[in-house]
Amino acid sequence: MITIFWLIFFLATPALIIYLCHRYSFFSKIGAVVIAYALGLILGNSGLLPENASALQGMLLTVTIPLAIPLLLFSVNIRKWFSIADKTMLSMVFALIGVFLTVIPGYFLLREYRPDDLWQISGLLVGVYTGGTPNMASIKVALNVDESLYLATHTYDLVIGVFYLMFMLSVGKRFFLLFLRDFKYTEINGRVLEKSDGVESWSGFFKRSSLISVGKAILLAALIFALGGSLTLVLPENAQMAVVILTITTLGILASLIPAVNRMEKTFELGMYFILVFSLVVASMANLAQLADVSMVILIYVSLVVFGSLAVQTILSKIFKLDSDTMMITSTAFICSPPFVPVVAAALKNKDVIVSGLTVGIIGYAIGNYLGITLAYLLR
């Protein structure tokens, strides 16, 4: 009964947030994703969640993103992505440089405090901040990292990641526009695409035509999810996440090339609903009280890598005249991994960069293990 209550809570609260943002300008200015994250943080640290909530949270995280990605991609004009692909790859290189220019100096700065295992932490950080948690878990096994050390590093990664996301989702765009130029929207059919086109436009969502379209879209997204998820039956565990997300992304992009799918109404909005569920749930898993039992050296190291790499990438983006949205979405893909790309794209009100972010994130998944393990042994 308790599990059913919290399931309803996690599914209904994002709908309430959407209503408030649509109805009242005050909430709209804050942003639905920011509100969801804030509520999740409050909930996760209030003590209200039952001890067995992690099973429900894990199930929702497993379901929401694989459904959200194809729904968000159905309305994307993939042909436009090729006009920005070159600067996306350049921005990815800058993000990679940022990670290495903070992990390596950070190691030499802090190694006297943890001489025995900081090389392992360095490998974990390179893996997670070029790929994601699956890479971090793989590197743990490869480097024979102690369980408590892995959990400590992962805890700080989660908590600092929440603060990173809150910054990116709230004042990030305004801050980076102080240094970088704004994103240039491409033309479609003779008009310039606006930031608000197709992003969180909830008016008319419950019209008969919209509901029929939404029904078809969610069935197609569920089919894509099933096809991608079925690969877990034949893949080794450490490769499952990367391959499944790559498959779902590819199928979503291919579906968007079908005119009937690309014209479906409100698919982006439905995808954003699942993103809000994801945001609420993942923030509720960040237990700030756990920080009291974790090494301050790891906190400093994680913070240095997360925000230091962001600073390095910003400087390089300024020098090479890249725009703020591309820089932010590639940084998000590396620091937070592909599932968070649509979250930041929604805050930017720019669905043009979703494919860019997902592509960078998938490449990160592919190279993260190699880079993390190699650097760890070099530092050792």
Is the pLDDT reported for residue 76 higher than 80?
Answer: no
pLDDT score recorded for residue 84: 58
83 confidence band (pLDDT: 50, 70, 90)? low
Is the pLDDT reported for residue 230 higher than 70?
Answer: yes
User: What DSSP element (H or E) covers 192?
Assistant: strand 191-192
Biggest CA-to-CA distance, the chain: 65
Task: Please give the torsion angle defined by the CA atoms of residues 22, 37, 61 and 161, in that order, rounded to the nearest 10 degrees.
Answer: 140
Is the pLDDT reported for residue 155 higher than 50?
Answer: yes
Q: What is the pLDDT of residues 13-56, one digit of tens each?
A: 999 998 888 788 788 767 777 788 789 888 988 888 888 888 89
Is the pLDDT reported for residue 223 higher than 80?
Answer: yes
Mean pLDDT lowest for which of 120-134, 155-169, 189-203, 366-380? Answer: 189-203
Is the pLDDT reported for residue 343 higher than 90?
Answer: no
Nearest to 364 by CA among 253, 356, 196: 356
Q: Which two tokens stand for residue 290?
A: 């756990």
> What percentage of the chain has pLDDT greater than the value 70?
86
Q: Which two tokens stand for residue 73?
A: 């991609």
Domain locations in the chain?
63-181+201-379
Contact by Cβ (8 Å): 179, 314: yes
CA distance 365 to 248: 15
Q: What is the pLDDT of residues 293-341, one digit of tens each?
A: 567 889 999 999 999 999 999 999 999 999 999 999 999 999 987 778 8
Is the pLDDT reported for residue 189 higher than 60?
Answer: no
CA distances from 86 to 5, 34, 90, 335 (A): 48, 30, 6, 21
Mean pLDDT lowest for which of 71-80, 181-190, 205-214? Answer: 181-190
DSSP-assigned letter for residue 206 = T
Is the pLDDT reported for residue 285 higher than 70?
Answer: yes
pLDDT score recorded for residue 97: 96
pLDDT score recorded for residue 104: 96
Mean pLDDT over residues 134-144, rounded? Answer: 77
pLDDT score recorded for residue 361: 81
pLDDT score recorded for residue 115: 81
Q: What is the pLDDT of residues 235-256, one digit of tens each?
A: 776 667 667 777 887 888 889 8
Average per-residue pLDDT for the chain: 82
pLDDT score recorded for residue 192: 37
196 confidence band (pLDDT: 50, 70, 90)? very low
Q: What is the pLDDT of residues 166-181, one digit of tens each?
A: 899 888 999 999 999 9
pLDDT score recorded for residue 193: 38
pLDDT score recorded for residue 194: 41
pLDDT score recorded for residue 195: 40
Q: What pTM did the predictor assign?
A: 0.67
Mean pLDDT over residues 84-97, rounded? Answer: 87
Q: Which two tokens stand for residue 179?
A: 């240094």
Return the SS3 of 187: strand
pLDDT score recorded for residue 301: 95
